[in-house]
Structure 1
Amino acid sequence: MMNFCGLLTEKKEPVPLKSIDAQLEVKDHVATLVSTLNYENKEDKPLEAVFVFPLPGDAAVCHFSAQIGETHIVAEVKEKQQAQEEYDDALSSGQQAFLLEESEQSPDIFSLKVGRLPPGESASIRLEYVTELAVQADDGLRFCLPAVLNPRYQSQGPSVQVTSVPASLVPYSLSFSAQVSSPRPISKIESSCSLEPLQYLNADQTQATIKLGGGHKFDRDIELLIYYKDAHQPSAVVEAGQASAKPGSLMGDPVVMVSLYPEFPQSVMSSLATCGEFVFLMDRSGSMGCSMNNSTPQETRISSARDTLLLLLKSLPMGCYFNIYSFGSSFEHIFPKSVEYSEKTMKEALEEVEKMESNLGGTEILQPLKHIYSQACIPKHPRQLFVFTDGEVGNTKEVTDLVKKNADSHRCFSFGIGEGASSALINGMAKDGGGHAQFITGADRMQPKVMQSLRFALQPAVEDISVSWDLPKGVSATVLSQPITAIFQGQRSLIYAQLTLQSSEEADGTVTVKYSLAGHPSQSQLHFNLKPAEDSGLTVHRLAARTMIRSLESEERTQSEQNDEEMKKRVVELSVQSGVSSFFTAFIAVNKDSGESVEGPLVRRNIPTPFFPTCSASPRRPRSCATQCTHLSSSFHFTGSWLDMPALSAAEPPQPRKDPVLQLVSLQKASGCWMLDANLAAMLGKTSEQVEKAKPPSVAGPGEGYWLWASILALIWLHGFKMDVMEEWELLSMKAASWIKAQNAPHVSECVEAGNTLLGCAVKKEALGI
């Protein structure tokens, strides 16, 4: 009988992976992560350890090496099939070998194989990647180290095998530290994980370190939100080429990374669009019945989604068009096609939203997207698509390709809900759809993040975007990144360009982005020095290479077979030249210096990955789901999982809303006003008699005067008591203020004064926007 020792899986198999140490370095908005995976074989047979794990979908993996005793092996990037054959050949001949490759299904899943680790031997694997940090709607820079890999739903086709266990049973440890530096002071760093206190390294607070608190339970991704003071400062980094690379090649020439933050005129920002077609696509798969987080288990993903749809529908402008789709294994839509927004259609939609449950099975997003895109666009009403999903799908590339194909006809805003949402899917849809991505994790509320994105959607679409360069004689720029397709107020636009320099003299250059905003020509401009920055390594080159590789891979999937091979060849060449992984390449390392071959039959050990089983025993979800989590098999394929199965019993009627803001919002009419009735009075904490008695004498009997009085009371209550969640109700309050101003009533000031007296507030009329 085998003597088990060390860490064990649920199947009582030893786990050779003992620990992961992750060290993050952030310079302004670029992050470099170095992860060290420590292995030890305590068995009496040589092992092959296989670990399938998530990485950020937009990361450029640029280094992979192994340390076995005194031997250090640096992996090479090679064409994928060649790398796989070399790995297999090495194992069959008794050599140690290491293989790192990207999943065929999604660029945010990688497989790491450690082959022929001898009995009693240890090995350290070093993995490095670089990535740009995405700007959130609240101006924070988001870094996420994925630690959770939920089973990806896939209805058909081949799947990647992954071994998973509930987060509480992960048999290895994780340590994480970060060092942050920026030209601007670091105001704060937040996280959904437990962190040690932020340590500033200098007096001007431009450098800081932070560490993950002890005992990380693998129940969530490690997310950092980094906030700089005066973050919206344009910048350019020029990086020297690699001395050993051929001049004229990507790695041999200097590369510049330009970050621009276009600012729109206040006149444009204060006048939000009154037109548009708003299509909301809501995930109703079984996994949406899971709780949003551990601190509020009664709030499920689907219940939060219902509340969010209420806010969205109440905030839409009169005269626009809208529709709501929901999907699982099948899909539904409330209206056959988008309808004009009115009191009648809004009420009809909200009645259907109230019935929404997480009972549609799997996560098949492709078919509803195809149906949406098959609908003719409405003239003079630009389409805005809002996609809500927990991101557990297996056909990520097919979905993002479809969004990109239809990018000219719409903007796509995507929301990743809960731990383990696929960054490749959420970021990919927003990037390819010219929109914005948001992630709702930890204790985040969905509503403020979604309303921030609605603000973006209500901004006028920026058109006729072009980039021009003003460079000294003998200097030219070749843009490497995809053309800019979307610009939002205060959001970063990134441009990579390869520079050809004929002389070493210092000089300055200028890059200008021109565009049309609400029919008016505008531009953003940056002057920068062409002298390469010191000690920047090849980070900018690798990010530029990653950008080109992803662009070529996307093109390859839509090309003819002949062009397909040509595109694949270009990707492989670029990947090998830059040392950055791709779909068509892999990192391969073979230990040829180990002397004697490692004899004996090879035993495969799958390293388990944490997943996030958090179904709660809520009124809308049977209690048996909560207990089922702890009895799952530890082996999964990326196919349908128990999380994506229909609910086990019929849904109970929706519970009454307890959130006072949502109660008030639910009473608002589509036009923006409120009706004076007992429900509103109760919501304000008053009786109908008190509200009636407090109204100014100038307000006439029942009619428009009562509607005006009711609407002003609602606005005073929001501004007086709920400023902490203003992001959630600001748009609908602006709509209410517009309705009030449109009445041209002579007694508004009297109503504001009387309303303040009744509610015990001191809100100024100007603050209400009336």
Structure 2
Amino acid sequence: MWRQSFGLLGKSYTHDTTGSFLLGKWLHIPLYPVPLCSAVVDVAIQDYVADVASELIYQNKSHISTEVLFAFPLSPHTAIYSFQVRSEDANIQAMLQDEPQQLHKPLGGWENLEYLQNQSNYPGEMFACFLGTLSPGGEVVVTLRYVQELPRKPDGAAHFVLSPTLHPYTKHYAWNCLASKLPYSLLLTASLQSPRGVASVQANFALTPLIYTAQDRSTAQVSLAGSPPSHNDLELLVYFGDPPAVSAVVEKGDPGAPPGSLLGDPMVLVTLAPSIPEAVPGQCQSGEFIFLLDTTFLEHAQDSLLFLLKSLPLGCYFNIYCYGETSVGIYPQSVEYTQDNLTEAMQRIPPTGSSLDDTNLLGTLRSIYNTPRPRGHTRQLFIFMTRLPPDKEAIAAEVCHHRNSHRCFSFCFSKDSAALATALAKETGGEATYVSSDNSMTAVVLKCLKRALKPAAEGVFLSWTLPRGLQVEVLGGTPQSIFQDQYSLLYARIHGQAQDTTVAKGVMTLQYSLDGQDVTHTIEFPLCPQGDGRLAGHRLAARCLLERLLPEATSGSGDEPRHRAVEISLTSGIICPFTSYVGVRTSQRVSWYRGPLALLPPRQSLIPCQIVELRGSGRVSSCLPKTTWVPPGWLTAACESWLALRRLTRSIAALPQRGACSKACTPPPPSISSLKYADLTEFDWCSPILGRWSTEAIAECQELVALQNVDGSWALSSGLASVLEINEAEIKGKMPGEVMEPSIWATVLAVTWLHRNDKFYQDVCELLEAKAVTWLCSRAVSQLDKCLEAASTLLGISVKPSVFRL
């Protein structure tokens, strides 16, 4: 991640006239990387939380001085809490201060960070620190520490991937893309801990044998054996004891932190992962599905809405809200999914063209949250936005406040609403999708519905039994539902003073309902935990709290959320939008440039250091020689000169307004939006190619879908005959004699028609077909063989018996 003159990730940059180039000269010189010489990495994994401490040594092996920038990409679940640099000239430490960070506006006017934002192929946030100029042969030692939440695999394993900055391997070294041996050494050690015991470790590289450091096998160590692989990331899969539905790891607090503070109290890392069996497609299923439609959406999405409503399962509840200037609910509250209710709902939908200038999504959401959900039915919202609502911050705060009671699937049709759609989905564990055209809308919406139909553990409730005087606070609350293939990592803070010090354990009980049956799990956990003191759980708990406070703090609900966020950020070392990183140079012995072009003396103790939001260029890296327009050794002087001139011209321009004032008026700080920090890397940008395929399928089977009943059956009618392009009398004449109910014959014909050759119906009709087959199997198993044979002959279509579960 080190490159001369901002050559991050081996990219060559185009010239920009932002004023950061000395005297406007355009010089074309080779790009010399500052290579990594050695890396020592110590990883501590505690269940599904990791703390990574690393020491990286870089050396300038070129014959000229080189501008140095350190950059570290941040994944959505990673947070840096310590960064220090030692070089030949200075010591640099990143520190937090109480000032808003500006992801889009580089610190101190350092315009060249725009190169990072626009030219990197890594989208998302990146920590960047400008370290000055490194002389030929000079070394820089970087100490970096960060924490991250680890994904949980379906088999219960914790999945750890070492950051590419700590193991850049061959593709980051442009001069030697075909080398089989890395030009740096890597020492990687991992310590593993879990009260369930460490069972085994798997990796995509050679490991030393697992060494247990406790008799109960609750702690163990493993290391990299030999040289690391030169063409892939380093990945670890850590398996603990039998993965239960609930587990707890207790992390002791920081002895140096004030008693009762977030870092000072013990923290319980709770993992909720109920075992949820697969649901049979087409069967009755619980759930409350609420559709929020911008009225302009109705002009383009009548077909999509039809497919969506017809694909719902029996047994669920539903409602539709059309929001414009005022919100209109089809029903006062959700109703059972029946044929009569669906028919009535379709008739009540407002006519198209009734949209107004402003939308009232906020009022609609508040109406829904004030309406009780049906008991035993998990609430899920499908929100369709054709434009960005004016009160976007308040909408994000409202959804965040109710994040534990529902899940959002958000669809936007304009790029300016992508950040809001992503924020709503992220807060509630849903999914956000940008629909680029009407063609792909139905397929995209149905894809999300399939995910929403996964079964869930409902009515999730945690209870605690602790000695008198101790209390537990689950930071951010407990989700009311956990869906299949999902898990929840919670942070619970234990505070207070135990009156009975002889009790060494607490008890946690998890309760939920699964398919109508009540389930209970109980575990014990120690109240006096041991630990390595690295506080990974505490820091991630702080990060979790900061994320929860952001929507509330930016929605104009008062200063208290902001003050609390600043306090948590400064004490934990985890940055938030209300604090900023500052690179503090503690040594004044600076030799970064001694030539005649050093227009300003290097006396500043602060250097550019911040979080940058990368937009990503999408360009493919190459092994060809790289070039850059920025000359080494001159960039710093040019930046200082440019900043001095800008400050001077601003001061002169401000003289008439400030009169005798000796200082220019300080502009008000920029407003902070929670939507600026939405991680768009998780956004689903649907493919227009798939859209063209699905459009043809939707148009061909739309009439057939409109005729289907909510239970999955079709009636034998002239409308069905028209869709099948067969005379109604012929259809009735070909019905097998064993069939006593015409709707059975009609339903077999409809399902058979959906399996015509070379037709792409599966993506849009999979749920509809599953309901139909379930209905057939419950009423006419003995008649299906004869019906399928007759239908195949009549329609000239060959269908496998397995389609009808035969």
Instruction: State TM-score, norm by structure 1.
Output: 0.58
Describe the superposition over 1:405-443 as per-residue Cα deviations: whole angstroms up to 9, x where unpaired.
565986423579999998x866742464x45347899xx
Aligned to 1:62: 81
Distance 2:748 2:698 in 1: 19
Aligned to 1:673: 713
Please say if residues 480 and 547 of structure 1, whose CA atoms lie closer than 8 Å, have aligned partners that are also in contact: no
Shift of 1:597: 7.3
Distance 1:129 1:32 in 2: 6
Distance 1:492 1:116 in 2: 44
Aligned to 2:627: none
Matched AA of 1:373: L
Q: Which of the numbers 252, 274, 286 marks the counterpart of 1:240? A: 252
Does residue 369 of the first structure (1) align with residue 361 of the second (2)? yes
Aligned to 2:505: 508
**Alpha carbons of 1:225 and 1:595: their partners in 2 closer, same or farther (altered >3 Å)?**
closer
**Alpha carbons of 1:689 and 1:47: their partners in 2 closer, same or farther (altered >3 Å)?**
farther
Q: Which of the numbers 386, 405, 408 marks the counterpart of 2:382? A: 386
Aligned to 2:453: 455
**Alpha carbons of 1:584 and 1:123: their partners in 2 closer, same or farther (altered >3 Å)?**
farther
Q: What pairs up with 1:607-618 in 2 under 5 angstroms? A: 609-611=614-616
Shift of 1:310: 7.6
Does residue 708 of the first structure (1) align with residue 747 of the second (2)? yes
Q: What pairs up with 1:171-570 in 2 under 5 angstroms? A: 198-199=204-205, 201=207, 233-263=245-275, 271-273=284-286, 276-279=289-292, 312-317=308-313, 321=318, 338=330, 342=342, 367=359, 369-370=361-362, 372-373=364-365, 384-387=380-383, 399-405=395-401, 411-414=407-410, 428-430=423-425, 432=427, 434-437=428-431, 450-456=448-454, 462-463=458-459, 466-471=461-466, 473=467, 476-490=470-484, 491-499=486-494, 507-514=504-511, 523-530=520-527, 532=529, 534-535=531-532, 537-557=534-554, 561=558, 564=559, 566-570=560-564
Shift of 1:312: 3.6
Tell me which moved more, 55-64 or 494-503: 494-503
Distance 2:342 2:210 in 1: 53
Describe the superposition over 1:284-335 as per-residue Cα deviations: whole angstroms up to 9, x where unpaired.
9xxxxxxxxxxxxxxxxxx9x9998786444124785555989xxxx999x9
Distance 2:416 2:206 in 1: 31
Please say if residues 756 and 762 of structure 1, whose CA atoms lie closer than 8 Å, have aligned partners that are also in contact: no
Shift of 1:211: 8.9
| SS of match in other structure, 1:589 | strand
Distance 1:391 1:27 in 2: 44
Please say if residues 346 and 670 of structure 1, whose CA atoms lie closer than 8 Å, have aligned partners that are also in contact: no
Structure 1: tracts of 5 or more residues without a match: 92-99, 101-106, 148-167, 189-196, 216-221, 285-302, 615-637, 644-650
**Alpha carbons of 1:408 and 1:498: their partners in 2 closer, same or farther (altered >3 Å)?**
closer
**Alpha carbons of 1:551 and 1:688: their partners in 2 closer, same or farther (altered >3 Å)?**
same
| SS of match in other structure, 1:510 | strand
Aligned to 1:698: 738
Aligned to 1:629: none
Distance 1:309 1:569 in 2: 44
Distance 1:67 1:173 in 2: 28
Aligned to 2:599: 600
Please say if residues 251 and 537 of structure 2, whose CA atoms lie closer than 8 Å, have aligned partners that are also in contact: yes
Matched AA of 2:272: L
Shift of 1:344: 9.4
Structure 2: tracts of 5 or more residues without a match: 22-27, 111-115, 117-122, 165-170, 212-219, 332-339, 436-442, 593-597, 620-674, 681-687
Describe the superposition over 1:674-719 as per-residue Cα deviations: whole angstroms up to 9, x where unpaired.
57899999999x9999999986442479x5243132255469x69x
**Alpha carbons of 1:19 and 1:9: their partners in 2 closer, same or farther (altered >3 Å)?**
same
Shift of 1:486: 2.7
Matched AA of 1:573: E
Matched AA of 1:759: S
Please say if residues 142 and 226 of structure 1, whose CA atoms lie closer than 8 Å, have aligned partners that are also in contact: yes
**Alpha carbons of 1:202 and 1:140: their partners in 2 closer, same or farther (altered >3 Å)?**
same
Please say if residues 35 and 60 of structure 2, whose CA atoms lie closer than 8 Å, have aligned partners that are also in contact: no
**Alpha carbons of 1:579 and 1:4: their partners in 2 closer, same or farther (altered >3 Å)?**
closer
Q: What pairs up with 1:88-127 in 2 under 5 angstroms? A: 109=125, 112-114=128-130, 117=133
Aligned to 1:293: none
| SS of match in other structure, 1:740 | helix
Please say if residues 320 and 341 of structure 1, whose CA atoms lie closer than 8 Å, have aligned partners that are also in contact: no
Aligned to 1:30: 49
Matched AA of 2:82: H
Please say if residues 416 and 426 of structure 1, whose CA atoms lie closer than 8 Å, have aligned partners that are also in contact: yes
**Alpha carbons of 1:695 and 1:132: their partners in 2 closer, same or farther (altered >3 Å)?**
farther
Shift of 1:540: 0.8
Shift of 1:542: 0.8
| SS of match in other structure, 1:80 | coil
Aligned to 1:747: 783
Shift of 1:761: 2.8
Instruction: State TM-score, norm by structure 2.
Output: 0.56
Describe the superposition over 1:369-406 as per-residue Cα deviations: whole angstroms up to 9, x where unpaired.
33643766878678632357999999985552132356
| SS of match in other structure, 2:257 | coil
Shift of 1:594: 3.8
Distance 1:593 1:406 in 2: 49
Does residue 79 of the first structure (1) align with residue 95 of the second (2)? no
Distance 1:391 1:34 in 2: 44
Shift of 1:40: 7.8
Distance 1:740 1:391 in 2: 43
Aligned to 1:573: 567
Aligned to 1:621: none
Aligned to 1:582: 576
Shift of 1:493: 3.0
Distance 1:523 1:454 in 2: 24
Shift of 1:235: 1.9
Aligned to 1:288: none
Cα RMSD between the aligned structures?
7.2
Distance 2:360 2:778 in 1: 39
Shift of 1:528: 3.0
Please say if residues 263 and 489 of structure 1, whose CA atoms lie closer than 8 Å, have aligned partners that are also in contact: no
Shift of 1:38: 7.3
Matched AA of 2:204: L
Distance 1:370 1:677 in 2: 44
Matched AA of 2:130: V
Shift of 1:666: 7.8
Distance 1:725 1:689 in 2: 27
Shift of 1:279: 3.2
